[in-house]
Amino acid sequence: MPKVLIATVKPFAPIAVEQIKKIIENAGYQFALLEKYENQDALKQAVADADALIVRSDKITADVMQAAPKLKIVVRAGAGYDNIDLKTATEKGIVVMNTPGQNSNAVAELALGMMVYLARNRFNGKPGTELKGKSLGVHAYGHVGRRVAEIAKGFGMELFAFDPFIPKEEIEKDGVTVVDSAEELYTRSQYVSLHIPANEHTIKSINYTLLSKMPQNATLVNTARKEIIDEDDLLKMFEERPDFKYISDIAPDCKDVIAEKYPDRYFFTPKKMGAQTAEANINAGLAAARQIVNFFEKGDRTFQVNK
């Protein structure tokens, strides 16, 4: 009987856990839960007899896999899998999957919500600005980017996108103008919303060269990963461009400098919380549980990311 462990520092909503448990137990598997653990040792202990793992941004390092001799599958309930050591997983024959699209609406709603919040001066009563008629560049048109574009359209924003991996026609049918380079995207967009993963090609790729191309009253919106931003360049933008603002659900390492020097030009949520809704937890968590059952029962490897 496979043992399936949910290991989440940032727990799912209780209703999601309940429903995941039901799927696992209905399949005749053993269910275990480790939430809000304080260090990697606690995680290593818990994985010792696990055959399958459901995680969020939890760090699944070589060490953790070493401590889990029975582990056959890790499902990241969410989109980004930069928290999992794919190379080691592949070497050990461990299948890694994500659950693409399952939490994208939550992230997209937060991106637009934060944009309104800062454009309205954090609701302090002073006159702000509207999103209607402003340009928005969607940097990568995956599940979240697409949903951001869809909601932004409702606000009456003018939409641009750059994504070299998606056919132009597919994006254009959403009424979004496709541009040919990241440079062009930043040049044409007063708002840029980031939806690229963090990997060796993208880390620190959002730099001064791109940001400095943004027109006046520029706002960068980051619900992706903090590692994709070149923070020295970010600070340079703040210093040189009094019109520049930055919004994120993952505070940068340099957040204290920004808070001290540019208090009105940023907003960061206290914790990464793009995907923190009951709906997103249910969608992603249940998808993860079903993928695990289908993997054990039918050998289904749809959504495997370490092929």
- Binding residues vs ligand 3PG (CB under 6 A): 10, 56-57, 78-80, 103, 272, 274-275
Alpha-carbon dihedral sign for residues 235, 142, 82, 184 = negative
| Exposed e or buried b per residue across 152-163, where buried means at least 16 C-beta atoms within 10 angstroms of its C-beta | beeeebbbbbbb
For ligand 3PG, the closer CB: 55 or 237: 55
Shortest Cβ 39–ligand 3PG spacing (Å): 18
From the list 133, 224, 139, the residue with the least C-alpha distance to 182 is 139
Cα separation, 264 vs 188, whole angstroms: 24
For ligand 3PG, the closer CB: 2 or 78: 78
Contact in structure between 30 and 4 (CB atoms under 8 Å)? yes
Q: Which residue is nearest to ligand 3PG (CB)?
A: 78
Shortest Cβ 10–ligand 3PG spacing (Å): 6
For ligand 3PG, the closer CB: 3 or 76: 76
SS3 for 31?
strand
Alpha-carbon dihedral sign for residues 68, 74, 77, 80 = positive
From the list 10, 7, 13, 29, the residue with the least C-alpha distance to 290 is 29
For ligand 3PG, the closer CB: 80 or 128: 80
Shortest Cβ 106–ligand 3PG spacing (Å): 8
For ligand 3PG, the closer CB: 102 or 135: 102
Given the DSSP bridges, would you call strands 191-194 and 245-248 parallel, antiparallel or unpaired?
A: unpaired
Shortest Cβ 241–ligand 3PG spacing (Å): 28
Shortest Cβ 51–ligand 3PG spacing (Å): 22
For ligand 3PG, the closer CB: 5 or 27: 5
Alpha-carbon dihedral sign for residues 258, 181, 138, 250 = negative
Shortest Cβ 145–ligand 3PG spacing (Å): 13
Shortest Cβ 192–ligand 3PG spacing (Å): 18
Burial of 297 (0-12, 13-18, 19+ CB in 10 A): exposed
For ligand 3PG, the closer CB: 103 or 205: 103
Contact in structure between 169 and 163 (CB atoms under 8 Å)? no
